[in-house]
């Protein structure tokens, strides 16, 4: 194994491949910072460039774009409350609150360092236990998916700051919004009002940009002066010793969650970021700080989404199956060179497998070196008067919403949800459970339908499979603990 | 030349073409880059094929072909946009059976041969039926027999409602009278994963999707749903040979708005033919596991129309 890794480093350390990894990392950071235009579209645009490259160089560059975007994705979440990528939605919750209390530097710093640690741990995991994890991903059938997603949903209540009832209402609304589009079994249209733009459902990145970014601008309009905290935003460029003490364990746990959940195709990175956030809040000694600028709330999900971006390469490299759209584009790049990733990739093209892995070790170092100095620059951005900054936010959101599907309809959707998000804030309704339920709802429905059809309608399938039964048991515990507290103590703090 | 005057020229060309004076102007066509809309997301087999073929467009057409992705509505949004575009040959659609045949024939959404003109077919991927090597049936016939002995027990994994897998499986079930559990998946990747993981017993996908698993012994091929056997898998029979006449072409081709002047169609079809004969293009298509199977506007138009009528019939008989 070490021999293989050494030969991988020999490939990755060649000057050209180093340059490609660096270029991919820089470009990835840039597109991660800009909301909307995501890694799949960028990789698609750059694909023709790779025709003339060595296949391993192509993978090194395109992979750099993908995991680089995960680093950059947190920036706008923290600074402007605009989720840059799907995996950074949950980072908005505490990251932006930290900015508002003048601690943007610490938030950005911990996001970059957490990403580095998680990314590196992820690559170590990737080089050690890829084949085992691939088997694990294969064993994950519809019943297991259903139980995992149900567990994720029961955690949604921990995402809401105030009233559990309001959080629950938002979760149900999110589930409803998630049913817009084609039914997964029959392909019948639901809640589309005959609009072709709605047949694929609402894009949750667009909805999140409205609910977080636009709604934030609208509520800031009420206070015409510069928010006081933003003026002091240049203090504490780097995390303090106290920040470290609080963050190292969430980073480690986030890396673990991200790595194992990220291996599952279809939304692994997003689910892991929500799950790691909810777990931190659940086990924290001061859960009341979450949603008001707790650094753990940035460290855990940012670590999770980076570890997940690394482990999502496992199904591609070991089974030849892409787990998300970005990885699918990397598959295309390889196929253009006549290489079909699959079970034989490690034997037939060890240079590609190990070269790509070695380049990820190096790429993570490059990203850390690139992102830490950028923190100071980003924080300076906050000195811009809010009257101007708010316009920038609106423009970024509009361009971002358009570029997700090249659709002006999505811009309209974002504006509608921006106004809606503003009204929700006025009523004290949290937006995060809505987004989580909207993301998880369709996966929950599909896996439920798949499991029930394959068992011919027998619900015992969820208990007969040990992995599924275990996840369901945890979900039941999570759902019942607040109730138990009620019974025992008579009072319980709102979750 | 400014954009505005280029557009004027183009419009004049289109008008002249309709009036029958197209030949001379068609010689000048194209005077600006052509937009090819792919109504699907990045990285699918259509995207890959389109990028490979159009990479040499300027050599054979004198102008580049610019690819624009317009995903949404299972292909309906991009298809509708092209159907509404001026019929001047500058806005084309990358067609495929899902959004250009099945969706309009079965669901009445997207656009089919009534609203678009065929330019050419570039190629098609044969689809095949595969199972796990430890399955109790070793051939297509045995699978059918097993399904008949165990009604409602066989678990089939499709790639989405009315996908190639769903449609052909329903056809097979209709012809043979077997009953099974038809589990929907969000595309061919997930259904392959479900088959490998043993969550479904049988799946249908393009041969290219299954090939590496067949070669590594993780999947067993049962039958190819094509007119003839796949040259890469000479031992695998077609479903037709096994007594079940189901054929499906997962084709890729160029389509134009209805009423595009014939000389322009011919010029585009001719350039396309040359592009598909280009050595670098052929090498790229081969690396995807596909072959070029070019068909000109008339032959392709016939194949497409037949397919449309078949799916329409199937849609009304299979929809409950």
Domain assignment of residue A409, yes or no: yes
Domain assignment of residue A118, yes or no: yes
For residues B150 and B145, give the distance between their C-alpha atoms in angstroms, rounded to a whole number: 9
Question: Are B213 and A343 within 8 A, CB to CB?
Answer: yes
Mean pLDDT, chain A, integer:
86
Domain assignment of residue A495, yes or no: no
Find the domain containing A306 and state its range: 2-489
Which pLDDT score, from 0 to 100, does residue A487 have?
65
Full DSSP string of A8-36: HHHHHTSHHHHHHHHHHHHHHHHHHHSSS
Domain assignment of residue A494, yes or no: no
Give pLDDT tens digits for A353-363.
899 999 999 99
Residue of B nearest to A41 (CA): B42
Any CB–CB contact under 8 A between A403 and chain B?
A: no
Looking at residue B163, what DSSP letter applies?
S
Domain assignment of residue A195, yes or no: yes
Give pLDDT tens digits for A334-344.
877 878 787 77
- Of the two residues A293 and B23, the one the predictor is more confident about is A293
Per-residue pLDDT at B20 exceeds 80: no
Residue A274's nearest CA partner among A246, A302, A252, A309 is A302
Mean pLDDT, chain B, integer:
88
Torsion angles phi and psi, residue A337, rounded to 5? -90, 10
Per-residue pLDDT at A38 exceeds 80: no
State whether ipTM is beyond 0.90: no
Contacts of A319 in chain B (CB under 8 A): 193, 196
Neighbour-count burial for A467-481, b at 16+ CB within 10 Å, e otherwise: ebeebbeebeebeee
Q: Compute the nearest-CA separation of A72 from chain B (Å).
A: 22
Model confidence at A493, in pLDDT bands (50, 70, 90)?
A: very low
Contacts of B42 in chain A (CB under 8 A): 40-41, 43-44, 325, 328-329
Per-residue pLDDT at A36 exceeds 80: no
Domain assignment of residue A402, yes or no: yes
Residue B285's nearest CA partner among A78, A335, A453, A20 is A335
**Contact call for residues A106 and A238 (beta carbons, < 8 A):** yes
Residue A124's nearest CA partner among A358, A370, A369, A352 is A358
Give pLDDT tens digits for A388-435.
888 888 998 998 888 877 789 999 999 999 999 999 999 999 888 899
Domain assignment of residue A461, yes or no: yes
Residue of A nearest to B200 (CA): A454
Considering just the CA atoms, what is the radius of gyration of chain A in Å? 22
- Of the two residues A374 and B8, the one the predictor is more confident about is A374
Question: Are A47 and B71 within 8 A, CB to CB?
Answer: no
Domain assignment of residue A288, yes or no: yes
Encoded tokens for A280: 């931190």
Model confidence at B15, in pLDDT bands (50, 70, 90)?
A: very low
The three-state secondary structure class of B255 is strand
For residues A402 and A213, give the distance between their C-alpha atoms in angstroms, rounded to a whole number: 15
Listed in sequence order, the residues at least 6 apart from B97 whose beta carbon sits closer than 8 Å to its beta carbon are: B164, B248, B249, B250, B251, B307
Residue of B nearest to A450 (CA): B183
Number of structural domains found in chain A = 1
Poorest-pLDDT segment among A60-64, A80-84, A154-158, A208-212: A154-158
Among the partner-chain residues A51, A329, A343, the one whose CB lies closest to the CB of B43 is: A329
Looking at residue A464, what DSSP letter applies?
H
Structural domains in chain B, sorted by start:
3-123+251-318 (3.40.190.150), 126-224 (3.40.190.10)
Per-residue pLDDT at B223 exceeds 60: yes
Per-residue pLDDT at B233 exceeds 60: yes
Torsion angles phi and psi, residue A190, rounded to 5? -130, 130
Question: Are A406 and B70 within 8 A, CB to CB?
Answer: yes
Any CB–CB contact under 8 A between B35 and chain A?
A: no
H helix intervals, A320-464: 325-336, 345-348, 350-381, 386-405, 408-426, 432-454, 461-464
Contacts of A320 in chain B (CB under 8 A): 212-213
Model confidence at A133, in pLDDT bands (50, 70, 90)?
A: confident
Per-residue pLDDT at A490 exceeds 70: no
Which pLDDT score, from 0 to 100, does residue A491 have?
46
Any CB–CB contact under 8 A between B69 and chain A?
A: yes
The three-state secondary structure class of B121 is strand
- Of the two residues A481 and B162, the one the predictor is more confident about is B162
The position carrying tokens 């008989």 is B317
Average pLDDT on B150-168 reads: 93
Torsion angles phi and psi, residue A316, rounded to 5? -70, -50
């Amino acid at each position: 194994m070490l021999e293989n890794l050494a030969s991988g480093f020999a490939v990755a350390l060649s000057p050209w491949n180093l340059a490609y990894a660096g270029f991919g990392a820089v470009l990835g950071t840039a597109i991660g910072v800009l909301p909307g235009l995501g890694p799949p579209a960028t990789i698609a645009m750059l694909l023709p460039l790779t025709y003339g490259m060595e296949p391993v160089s192509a993978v090194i560059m395109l992979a750099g774009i993908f995991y680089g975007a995960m680093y950059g994705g947190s920036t706008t979440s923290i600074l402007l409350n605009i989720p840059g990528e799907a995996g950074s939605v949950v980072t908005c919750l505490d990251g932006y609150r930290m900015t508002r209390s003048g601690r943007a530097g610490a938030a950005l710093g911990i996001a970059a360092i957490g990403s580095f640690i998680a990314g590196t741990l992820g690559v170590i995991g990737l080089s050690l236990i890829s084949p085992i994890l691939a088997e694990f991903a294969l064993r994950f059938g519809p019943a297991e998916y259903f139980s995992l997603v149900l567990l994720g949903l029961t955690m949604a209540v921990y995402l809401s700051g105030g009233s559990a009832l309001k959080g629950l209402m938002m979760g149900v609304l999110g589930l409803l919004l998630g049913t817009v589009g084609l039914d997964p079994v029959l392909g019948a249209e639901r809640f589309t009002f005959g609009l072709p733009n709605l047949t694929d459902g609402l894009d949750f990145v667009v909805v999140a940009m409205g609910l977080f970014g636009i709604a934030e601008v609208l509520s800031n309009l009420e206070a015409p002066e510069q928010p006081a905290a933003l003026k002091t935003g240049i203090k504490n460029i780097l995390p303090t010793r106290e920040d470290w003490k609080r963050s190292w364990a969430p980073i480690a746990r986030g890396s673990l969650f991200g790595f194992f959940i990220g291996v599952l195709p279809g939304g692994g990175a997003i689910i892991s970021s929500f799950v790691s956030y909810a777990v931190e809040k659940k086990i924290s000694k001061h859960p009341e700080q979450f949603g008001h600028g707790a650094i753990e709330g940035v460290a855990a999900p940012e670590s999770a989404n980076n570890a997940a971006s690394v482990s999502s390469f496992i199904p591609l490299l070991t089974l030849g199956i892409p787990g998300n759209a970005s990885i699918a584009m990397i598959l295309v790049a390889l196929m253009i060179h006549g290489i079909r990733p699959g079970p034989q990739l490690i034997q037939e093209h060890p240079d590609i497998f190990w070269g790509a892995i070695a380049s990820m070790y190096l790429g993570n170092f490059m990203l850390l070196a690139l992102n830490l100095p950028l923190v100071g620059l980003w924080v300076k951005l906050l000195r811009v008067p809010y009257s101007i900054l708010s316009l920038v936010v609106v423009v970024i959101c509009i361009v971002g919403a358009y570029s997700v599907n090249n659709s002006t309809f999505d811009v309209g959707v974002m504006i509608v949800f921006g106004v809606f998000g503003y009204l929700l804030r006025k009523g004290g309704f949290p937006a995060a459970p809505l987004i989580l339920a909207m993301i998880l709802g369709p996966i929950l429905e599909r896996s439920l339908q798949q499991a029930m059809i394959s068992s011919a309608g027998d619900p015992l399938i969820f208990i007969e499979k040990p992995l599924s039964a275990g996840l369901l048991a945890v979900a039941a515990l999570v759902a019942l603990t607040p109730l138990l507290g009620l019974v025992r103590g008579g009072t319980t703090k709102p979750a | 030349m400014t954009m505005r005057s280029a557009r004027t020229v183009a419009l004049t060309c289109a008008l002249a073409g309709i009036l029958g004076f197209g030949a001379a102007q068609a010689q000048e066509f194209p005077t600006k880059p052509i937009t090819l809309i792919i109504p699907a997301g990045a990285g699918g087999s259509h995207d890959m094929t389109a990028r490979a073929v159009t990479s040499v467009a300027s050599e054979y057409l004198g102008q580049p072909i610019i690819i624009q992705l317009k995903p949404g509505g299972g292909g309906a949004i991009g298809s509708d946009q092209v159907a509404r575009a001026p019929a001047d040959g500058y806005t084309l659609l990358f067609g495929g059976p899902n959004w250009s045949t099945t969706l309009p024939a079965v669901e009445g959404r997207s656009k089919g041969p009534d609203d678009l003109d065929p330019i050419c077919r570039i190629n098609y991927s044969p689809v095949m039926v595969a199972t796990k090597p430890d399955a109790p049936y070793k051939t297509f016939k045995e699978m059918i027999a097993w399904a008949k002995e165990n009604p409602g027990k066989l678990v089939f994994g499709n790639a989405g409602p009315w996908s190639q897998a769903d449609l052909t499986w329903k056809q097979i079930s209709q012809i043979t009278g077997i009953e099974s559990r038809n589990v929907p998946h969000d595309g061919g990747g997930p259904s392959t994963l479900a088959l490998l993981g043993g969550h479904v017993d049988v799946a249908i996908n393009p041969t290219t999707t299954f090939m590496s698993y067949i070669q590594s012994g993780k999947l067993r091929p049962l039958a190819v749903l094509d007119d003839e056997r796949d040259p890469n898998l000479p031992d695998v029979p077609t479903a037709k040979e096994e007594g079940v006449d189901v054929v499906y072409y997962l084709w890729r081709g160029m389509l134009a708005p209805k009423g595009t002047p014939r000389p322009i169609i011919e010029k585009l079809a001719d350039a396309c033919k040359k592009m598909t004969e280009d050595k670098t293009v052929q090498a790229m298509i081969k690396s995807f596991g596909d072959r070029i199977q070019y068909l000109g506007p008339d032959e392709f138009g016939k194949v497409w129309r037949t397919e449309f009528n078949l799916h329409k019939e199937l849609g009304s008989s299979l929809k409950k």
